[in-house]
Structure 1
């Protein structure tokens, strides 16, 4: 039952953290052993996440598997964990993607090789890479992200929300791909720039959020007599009429939280760190950024912005919807004009996150269910497309679209999986993202028809940039440098095939996810005192 005393949420987050320590401690010469150690811990985390989701009761308590322990009693700090339907699905998504990220990046932290006299490949000590550190950092990010989804104490959430930036900084700055058009020195400079930009943007958002977190604590101390960061205590006090924020206070606190989440999401115009970070990272790390870490931002909008500041959320909705639509159209337009494969996928993600934010603030059950489903489906589809793109780039040694052509003639399996990933990205009917995008648009149109109509432009543009990308890289005559390109290997097929299988499965049967998230969406709408608009014909009766 969901009320079991076994601390499954703590164990689910602790397992990858322990795995990070164990992996980092593997002797330097045992690189392969370190990889398998990290993979073992990631698979163990996946098993626990699946068990948690299977035991979650959609019709039960709002927050389940709860854990609550005093931390710093004098300051109201607690170790409070709990998952609703949205959080349990996001934990499962995170745990699902990490093993694929590791398998795809199996050789990304191997020593860089040089060719010695006689044609023998040798490791260059000056180009050594810490394999153990690479996989340990991935596990550390997983632990921080899982705890962010599980935390129901605002300050505890803030700690992990910020702490995940450190391992991500080292993954971006220290492990760039090996297909850079510039020289090695320039490539290192650009990686460093991308990592610093990622860190500074997110730290700035986090510092503004910290001020809002302190403000929220002060408000609870003033009205309740004792300050608290507990989400459930604050919601209970508000429901009982014991806690009510002044309008101006609530709006300022909302803006502090929302700014941090909009940076992480990322939402236009706070998105500019993402193309740099994804472009300079290895493909698996790029997946970690956009399919895992960035989801914390949109998730937190649902959990904290809407639940803690319902009136301010409604007050800010018109502006946020405009920003979301700009993100959708702007991201898609810039994707059309990209010459770099990875930056194209990055701008496509900016557009997709615009759809997610649009669904959240449409304030309808279809919109928010679609937004949550979109977070899951975008994670799977972007992982599939970016990882196949990574395999493609590593074979050619270039990220430039112009350097490819005719790949389908020499590597048909690679081209086929790339096509499916692209079709999922443009939300083709029958693939998982279509259902979520359709729900978001329906939910938006029912309350904001003009916004819904403008947002559909993103669908048309997505079809353009995806099909142009496929046409330029996969069709036509075989370009120089492509002739001997190898098709996908067994390990690479093991990475891509399950993701494509999930895209097909959720494309025709999304019910396993929607059944879990819909009750949580209903609770969130209740928090903001919103109901679905009645159909026009019914309203006239």
Structure 2
């Protein structure tokens, strides 16, 4: 493409749409704010798809923009797109129009303009987070995402405790942000001491840090990202938020904003502080495994379907974090692909659960039962989302989950053995929820099936899960070069495959595993050539 600032446009377009939408008449249920929000989000998706098709997977950072911003700090307005960022930018651009369509009537009794304006603002700020190539710019966008998220939860949530949930979410995120700020300031101090104050990621990665300094700076970033992700034990804001926010808001929080945590682990923790990341790996892997198992166990015993779906993400983010910190190609590629696939499957579950909740008036599982007899399409789409969540072969989450587990076994068989329990536990909480919600005697009340708009909203996500489940190569072509970059940054190489000694000896003498036949065939081929 040309030298046009496409990445700036990608971030500004939703923000401009947010401002325009906010100034529209705010009558409850007004159609124009919804339509305008959909137009801006679809335009953003169209630009993202265009950039993806033009993207050269083997060319590293592309569409770069860099301008001095605050010279005294060494801060730059620097944007760039590589495979890691593109994967999450694509996910964000896909999910926002889906959420707009699925949330069409969520604010009909409130300020419709403000609701859809905050959705667009969240999209634009998330784009800048994933595109930022300057730590200071990243931090500013990271903190700014809290503003629309807070209002979407507190002002437009449906739960009785939405104000409490919004405040709890905000306090957790601000605490993480303040801890990270200490490390951001530390980066300035270290770079200034070296004679060149800078926040450019490329320059900081080349600088290197002494062992003690690097470990302290790493901890500031990692704690903030662990809260954001979330991981055990800093996850307690998660179930309260998903239980009180609208399903569409939960999709934006869990499937987009929470990915900032795992994205930051790759972009900052591993690439800027490789020594500290290796030092912390044993502890992080323990935390990840606990999150995998604990989140799944909490989900099994939940009666609130929105809270249950939220807690499954604690387990899934444990798997993603595990894939990152096992520090091998299988684990890291699986983790990046998992971030994308988790967004698809979890979004389907949240949105279809929201459809059911609006029809029945309850989000409690025991208040339902027999839904599939009156709303088979709703039940079927919910099942597809659930099967994606539990990693059914043929759906794209299976591919990423398999790679992460393979990376776990490559790291150590004990880690792999504990992590693989996620498959069994996921089957329990998904199938048990489906059985309680959808099967049994027909639902007692009135219950209509999905309308065309509701099906249209989730159809792209289902198609993507099926398509990338059978043919994940297009995404993996984007992901794999990014994995190679991370592996170089942390100075890691995959262990070569090993062959048992007794097998190798038999093969060498041509008396095992077909060795004699192969040797005989080689002799015959040699005779023919002679």
Same fold (TM over 0.5): yes
- Taking the TM superposition and a 5 Å limit, the aligned residue runs for 1:218-233 are 218-223=189-194, 225-233=195-203
Residue 23 of structure 2 is aligned to residue 25 of structure 1: yes
Residue 188 of structure 2 is aligned to residue 214 of structure 1: no
Residue 342 of structure 2 is aligned to residue 378 of structure 1: yes
State the match for 1:55 in structure 2.
54
Greater displacement, 436-445 / 29-38: 29-38
**SS in structure 2 of the partner of residue 322 of structure 1:** helix
Shift of 1:107: 0.4
Shift of 1:535: 2.0
2:122–2:149 CA contact under 8 A, matched in 1:
yes
**SS in structure 2 of the partner of residue 75 of structure 1:** coil
Counterpart Cα distance in 1 of 2:18 and 2:501: 57
Shift of 1:478: 2.0
State the match for 1:143 in structure 2.
124
Residue 88 of structure 2 is aligned to residue 83 of structure 1: no
Counterpart Cα distance in 2 of 1:157 and 1:268: 24
Counterpart Cα distance in 2 of 1:372 and 1:261: 15
Counterpart Cα distance in 2 of 1:416 and 1:276: 27
| Alpha-carbon displacement from aligned partner over 1:377-434 (angstroms, at most 9, x marks no partner) | 0000011111000001110000110001111111111111111111111011111100
**SS in structure 2 of the partner of residue 302 of structure 1:** helix
State the match for 1:133 in structure 2.
114
Alignment TM-score, normalising by the size of structure 2? 0.93
**SS in structure 1 of the partner of residue 499 of structure 2:** helix
2:135–2:201 CA contact under 8 A, matched in 1:
yes
Residue among 388, 393, 401 paired with 2:357? 393
Cα root mean square deviation, aligned: 1.2
- Taking the TM superposition and a 5 Å limit, the aligned residue runs for 1:442-481 are 442-481=406-445
Q: Which runs of 5+ in 2 are unaligned?
A: 505-530
| Alpha-carbon displacement from aligned partner over 1:115-147 (angstroms, at most 9, x marks no partner) | xxxxxxxxxxxxxx1100000000000011000
Counterpart Cα distance in 2 of 1:160 and 1:297: 13
State the match for 1:15 in structure 2.
13
Shift of 1:316: 0.3
Residue among 133, 148, 170 paired with 1:152? 133
Counterpart Cα distance in 1 of 2:188 and 2:72: 13
**SS in structure 1 of the partner of residue 303 of structure 2:** coil
2:369–2:441 CA contact under 8 A, matched in 1:
yes
State the match for 1:324 in structure 2.
288
State the match for 1:166 in structure 2.
147
Counterpart Cα distance in 1 of 2:208 and 2:252: 39
Residue 321 of structure 2 is aligned to residue 357 of structure 1: yes
Counterpart Cα distance in 2 of 1:7 and 1:504: 34
2:374–2:443 CA contact under 8 A, matched in 1:
no
1:90–1:376 CA contact under 8 A, matched in 2:
yes
State the match for 1:298 in structure 2.
262
1:427–1:434 CA contact under 8 A, matched in 2:
yes
Shift of 1:536: 2.8
Counterpart Cα distance in 2 of 1:196 and 1:50: 36
Residue among 504, 510, 514 paired with 2:466? 504
Counterpart Cα distance in 1 of 2:496 and 2:413: 14
State the match for 2:213 in structure 1.
249
State the match for 1:40 in structure 2.
39
| Alpha-carbon displacement from aligned partner over 1:325-362 (angstroms, at most 9, x marks no partner) | 00000000000000000011011011001110000001
Alignment TM-score, normalising by the size of structure 1? 0.91
1:403–1:479 CA contact under 8 A, matched in 2:
no
State the match for 2:204 in structure 1.
234
| Alpha-carbon displacement from aligned partner over 1:169-197 (angstroms, at most 9, x marks no partner) | 000011122xx5xxxxxx1xx11110001
Q: How many correspondences in the alignment? A: 502
1:447–1:533 CA contact under 8 A, matched in 2:
no
**SS in structure 1 of the partner of residue 394 of structure 2:** coil
Shift of 1:51: 1.0
Q: Is the radius of gyration larger for structure 1 or structure 2?
A: 2
Counterpart Cα distance in 2 of 1:41 and 1:333: 40
| Alpha-carbon displacement from aligned partner over 1:481-535 (angstroms, at most 9, x marks no partner) | 2xx2000001101012221111110111111100011011111011011111222
State the match for 2:526 in structure 1.
none
**SS in structure 2 of the partner of residue 68 of structure 1:** strand
2:231–2:318 CA contact under 8 A, matched in 1:
yes
1:13–1:143 CA contact under 8 A, matched in 2:
yes
1:429–1:507 CA contact under 8 A, matched in 2:
yes
State the match for 2:518 in structure 1.
none
State the match for 1:261 in structure 2.
225
Q: Which runs of 5+ in 1 are unaligned?
A: 112-128, 181-186
**SS in structure 2 of the partner of residue 536 of structure 1:** coil
Shift of 1:538: 7.6
2:374–2:449 CA contact under 8 A, matched in 1:
yes
Counterpart Cα distance in 2 of 1:75 and 1:287: 36
State the match for 2:387 in structure 1.
423
**SS in structure 2 of the partner of residue 69 of structure 1:** strand
Counterpart Cα distance in 1 of 2:292 and 2:501: 31
List, as ranges, runs of 4+ consecutive aligned residues in structure 1 with deviation greater than 3 Å. Answer: 538-541
Counterpart Cα distance in 2 of 1:449 and 1:53: 37
Counterpart Cα distance in 2 of 1:219 and 1:134: 42
Shift of 1:480: 2.7
Counterpart Cα distance in 1 of 2:243 and 2:162: 9
State the match for 1:197 in structure 2.
168
**SS in structure 2 of the partner of residue 289 of structure 1:** helix
